[in-house]
Amino acid sequence: MAKSRGSVFFCNECGFESAKWLGQCPSCKVWNSMEEMKFGSEAAKPGNTIKKMLPRAVCIDDIEADENVRYTSGLSELDRVLGGGIVAGSVVLIGGDPGIGKSTILLQVCRNLAATGGRILYISGEESLKQIKLRTKRIGDIKGELKFLCETDTAVIENVILSEQPQVVVIDSIQTMYKPDVSSSSGSITQVRECTSQLMRMAKSNSIAVFLVGHVTKEGQIAGPRVLEHMVDSVLYFEGERFASYRILRGVKNRFGSTNEIGVFEMYNDGLKEVANPSEYMLSGRPEGASGAAVACLMEGSRPILLETQALVTPTLFGMPRRTSVGTDVNRVNLLMAVIEKRCRLQMSRYDAYINIAGGMKMNEPALDLPIVMALVSSLKDRSIDDDTVIFGEVGLAGEVRAVNMAQLRIKEAKKLGFKTCILPAGLLNKVSGLSDMNLIGVRSIREAIDLIK
């Protein structure tokens, strides 16, 4: 006779599943991380067997598909990251550090949608209704059909959603939700996965857009198994220093658009404001005539952004030179310094090097190589680069400067901000010549680029 009840053990760190309890998880090697989840099952009996009609496979021409219904959030930067707006029936997961602005931006989106006639439901498992009202006073008056609910039971939440029939639902946060029939505690791997699965089925069957707020770990990843990110349609991350004013919304997964777009916001007392021109914002306060500074034009998706690359090269006081990088990969900086020493005969091994991407952004695009090289040599020689010069290009181990993509957009962005000279790979000159009246200087190697620093 089959057992009426059974259990499965899950690792609350990585989601590994096992039929029996284990002291150490075989996947993530964490001790005492296995939790039991009990479930019910009925023995199969011939008399109780219900024949289920098998689904029929169809051809692509037989599938009826309408255009995705999208709602405008009222924030063009968020719509850009989502691929053009909020898709009806989609499930979006938003993660970020505590206090970064996740709840603030979602509350602003709810206010904008309600003001245009949308039916919105904001469900909070962390704040009371009084706390939410105090927070809404900061972002302005709310008009329209925007309703709030404080609840953590997904069964109650589902009944409320089905009765209210909203167009957009916000769950803040998914780690506070729980299913009564699951024995593990709120925030565990099992609860997070089961609650997300239930909300996702409800969203798809009723064409309701659902936003899920997710906590993050010390490493900055969404708390819970990676399967949570695979289940949802879009995953967005809020980046930026907690005590800095700017915020960057980056899409790492999007089934309805590109994942290469970013949205730039600035935090004020009354909420988040969009930054329409990130390049001008990042270059504000740039020193004039300072050595060790080079302006780079980098791409984030289809958007060009101008950033200042700063370098400080000083003689080392110890046998091992110190290399520090903020905003880019320090290993890449070490590689570029080795190329400079080998190909240009500059003794970089005798100096400490400090690299900083002004504005606090984190960039790893290959086009940042040449600006870093120019900034390092500028600081080493204590000679400044012209303030109206913008630089981009990839550097190889032989010291060659390689071509990068979207050169036309980079040059147009630089011209719009008043730059007059552009140092770029020589292989791109025939593609961009005639597109702009800027002074285009093509270089084939870092030696040619360094000779321009006078």
Q: What is the pLDDT of residues 228-279, one digit of tens each?
A: 888 899 999 988 766 667 888 988 899 988 887 888 898 888 889 998 888 8
- Cα torsion 406, 416, 449, 439 to 10°: value is 110
Burial (Cβ within 10 Å: 0-12, 13-18, ≥19) of residue 450: buried
CB 59 within 8 A of CB 42: no
What whole-number distance in Å separates Cα of residue 43 and Cα of residue 407?
A: 66
How high is the pLDDT of residue 278? Answer: 85
Structure token pair of residue 174? 């998914």
In this model, does residue 437 exceed pLDDT 90? no
Which 3 state secondary structure label does DSSP give 165?
coil
What whole-number distance in Å separates Cα of residue 424 and Cα of residue 371?
A: 10
How high is the pLDDT of residue 49? Answer: 42
- Tokens 């993660």 correspond to 95
According to the annotation, is 287 in a ligand binding site? no
**Which residues, in sequence order, are CB contacts of 53 under 8 Å at separation 6+?**
none
How high is the pLDDT of residue 3? Answer: 44
Quote the percentage of the chain above a pLDDT of 70: 91
How high is the pLDDT of residue 97? Answer: 84
According to the annotation, is 103 in a ligand binding site? yes
CB atoms near residue 221 (< 10 Å): 13
According to the annotation, is 100 in a ligand binding site? yes
What whole-number distance in Å separates Cα of residue 234 and Cα of residue 257?
A: 9
According to the annotation, is 98 in a ligand binding site? yes
According to the annotation, is 101 in a ligand binding site? yes
- Tokens 């075989």 correspond to 26
According to the annotation, is 97 in a ligand binding site? yes
CB 262 within 8 A of CB 301: yes
- Mean local confidence (pLDDT), 75-95: 92
In this model, does residue 402 exceed pLDDT 90? yes
How high is the pLDDT of residue 378? Answer: 96
- Mean local confidence (pLDDT), 71-86: 92
Q: Cα(first)–Cα(last) distance of the chain, in Å?
A: 88
CB 272 within 8 A of CB 265: yes
* Residue 188 binned pLDDT confidence (cut-offs 50, 70, 90): confident
What whole-number distance in Å separates Cα of residue 239 and Cα of residue 256?
A: 22
Q: Which residue has the higher pLDDT, 12 or 348?
A: 348
CB atoms near residue 89 (< 10 Å): 16
Share the mean pLDDT of the chain. Answer: 87
At what angle are helices 154-164 and 189-206 packed, to 10 degrees?
10
